[in-house]
Amino acid sequence: MASLNPAACCMEGYAHHGEPAGTVCKYEDFDIYVAKPAVSTNKVIIYLTDIFGLPFTNHKLIADNFAKQGFLAVIPNLFYDDHIPFPRPDGFDLPGWVQRHQPQHTEPIIEKTFEFIKKEFPAVEKLFSVGYCYGGKYVVRLLDEGKLDAGYVAHPSFVSEDELRAIKAPLSIAAAEIDVVFPEEKRHQSESILKEIKATYNIVLYASVSHGFAVRGDLSDEVVTWTQEAAFWQAVQWFTRFSK
């Protein structure tokens, strides 16, 4: 594994306050959150969430911020009604939940999201994707299929070495210094694989923060607030580079 399976840290974090500015659309049998920029654009970010899924407000607020930077941002509901509630219930069976949300369950929803974009936003030419924790695996898998112009992942979970080795488009990684799912040895292993395949990539390590910092950190902590913002701008700058 280039990163390890989800662990207890994947179910921890803080809810952020704010009123989402986008809208929820129904496409076939699942919901998609859409955040539109003030001016029409030809670039989209497909936002793949952590295990708390679309109902978790933090994701919508981040998507809104991507829209403020000129990107159309869409968040598919990857889990239908089976997202992990926030805060998570005591004794929640994470391994059992993971077994219900394998690639054969998740990737059809992502495929339909591409269909939605093509139908509803035909002007889109540049396709990017961000993935947080659980969603990171699927960004990496999309980079193998030639469907993205670039991808970004933050504190990814259960990405296999073969999946990482197969990427064919640029990848940016935001890593936490304290992370049992994407620890130091896995960061170094991932870097070695990316160097080996001569990928276009960068890896940014953020000190003094834990797994989940880029989406559900404690914003009362100045260090966490700064690093979440820095990780956000890392994604924006990465996609801007490949928007031209």
Which pLDDT score is estimated for 89?
A: 79
Does position 204 have pLDDT exceeding 90, yes or no?
Answer: yes
**Mean per-residue pLDDT of the chain:** 94
Compute the residue count for the chain.
244
| Cβ(54)–Cβ(27) below 8 Å | no
| Residue whose pair of structure tokens reads 């990465």 in the numeric block | 238
Confidence of residue 1 (pLDDT cuts 50, 70, 90): very low
pTM, whole model, 2 decimals? 0.95
Which pLDDT score is estimated for 94?
A: 86
Does position 12 have pLDDT exceeding 80, yes or no?
Answer: no
Which positions ≥6 away from 114 have C-beta within 8 Å?
46, 127, 147
Does position 11 have pLDDT exceeding 70, yes or no?
Answer: no
Which pLDDT score is estimated for 116?
A: 98
In tens, the pLDDT along 145-200 reads 889 999 999 999 999 999 999 999 999 999 999 999 999 999 999 999 999 999 99
Enzyme catalytic residues: 133, 179, 211
Which pLDDT score is estimated for 88?
A: 77
Average pLDDT of 74-79?
98
How far apart CA 134 and CA 242 sit, in angstroms, is 24
Whether residue 76 has a cis bond before it, omega within 30° of 0: no
Does position 3 have pLDDT exceeding 70, yes or no?
Answer: no
Confidence of residue 9 (pLDDT cuts 50, 70, 90): very low
